[in-house]
Amino acid sequence: MRIAILSDAILPYHHGGKETLQYERSTRLARRRHDVRIHTMHWWPERKREIVREGVAQHAISPKVPMYKANGRRSIWESVAFGLGSLRLLWSPDFDVLDVDQFPFTPFFAARLVCWLRGRPMTATWYEVWDRDYWREYMGWLGPLGFFLQRDAARSADLIFADSRLTARRLTEWLGVDPSRILVLSPGVTIAAAHPPPLALEGRVGASGEDAKNLDCIFIGRLLPHKHVDIMLRALAMLPGVTGLIVGSGPEKDRLIALAGELGLRDRVRFESPASHEAVLDRLRGARLLVFPSTREGFGVAVLEANACGVPALVVQHPDNAALELVRDDVTGIICDLAPHPMAANIRAFLADPLLQSRMGKAALATAATYSWDAYVNKMEAALKSLIGEIPSPMPTELGPFDERAA
């Protein structure tokens, strides 16, 4: 198949869950001899409009524009620039199917026009659904426009790949998408065991010579308000001697470093920006517990990667947190309220019980083993072939709507 993908961010230039997903599935599809082309911003230093890496063509349809504003919210200018750039698909090499990344929504208009003119199906990869109230909080008086764009984009796709059951339900209940056009495909994980190197930390608050293998708590992710890393820091302040590492970048970083200093965590908490995905995994392998207090997750790749490293995760109870689907409380990890005191109490109990750490670590490993990128790609490939008519049935039974056996 000739598979075109429209996504504004890719590895290794921008790190995140969606970039990991796009990388893993596109390279695997390319290894299966599919012609895969990702249309994105001009991230690479070469002046060429198109480069090929690991068998995947990366084609620039717009200049590189900052994705986020200083307050950590999506840039409207980036959305407009990339949306206009998506019109270049009118002159791009032909394809059999076009998959559009959920964010930003503006490219969906160009993608729908291109697919209509070329008579090709359009799929979408969806991570989370925002309600009207959150759109209003996020965009102010433009909130209703954001909700409309989200709903219109979702309804325009012939098939949606949803990361989680939560997202699938909200696509149907909130946006009115036909359930038969939604397929739940949970991301996979592939992590080789390795011994972590000594920490080489950037932006650290204090000075210490401890290695990653002595690390108690780790956070991994974009430093944004809804990640609530400040709650983690306040919890650590209640736990004398407990160490922490914050891995990530974003608009909250300076504030969080200052807060760590105010809380007296200079010798126990460090900050690091990820040099590479493998460097992040090295940190995970040496930590005892992933503390992931985010309240808005479409899936929670960091939790799954931690589990694959034998590291349980602490996540918070919240209706917008799909990472809850990955954790069984007191079995593979910990679920607690979003507040410093209960978080501190759970961390204290976990670190004080080596048997609990061992039991949860083994259970986390066993859970991660059920999530496979090859299984993800097998089902995505079958769905795409069905969509373009390469197999007779419009959708195989095992790929029915809201299929939760993606792993």
Q: What is the pLDDT of residue 277?
A: 79
Q: What is the pLDDT of residue 391?
A: 59
Q: What is the pLDDT of residue 210?
A: 36
Tens of pLDDT, residues 50-67:
999 999 999 999 999 998
In a 13 Å sphere around the CA of 222, the CA atoms on its Cβ side amount to 22
SS3 292: strand
Q: What is the pLDDT of residue 404?
A: 41
- The H-or-E segment that residue 59 falls in is strand 56-62
Show the low-confidence residues of the chain (pLDDT under 50).
194-213, 392-407
Domains in the chain, ordered, with CATH? 2-188+372-399 (3.40.50.2000), 212-368 (3.40.50.2000)
The region, left, alpha or beta by phi > 0 then psi within -120 to 50, assigned to residue 203 is left
Q: What is the pLDDT of residue 201?
A: 39
> What is the distance of C-alpha 105 from the center of its chain?
17
Q: What is the pLDDT of residue 309?
A: 94
In contact, 82 and 62? CB cutoff 8 Å: yes
Q: What is the pLDDT of residue 250?
A: 86
Tens of pLDDT, residues 70-102:
777 888 899 999 999 999 999 999 999 999 999
Q: What whole-number distance in Å separates Cα of residue 192 and Cα of residue 309? A: 8
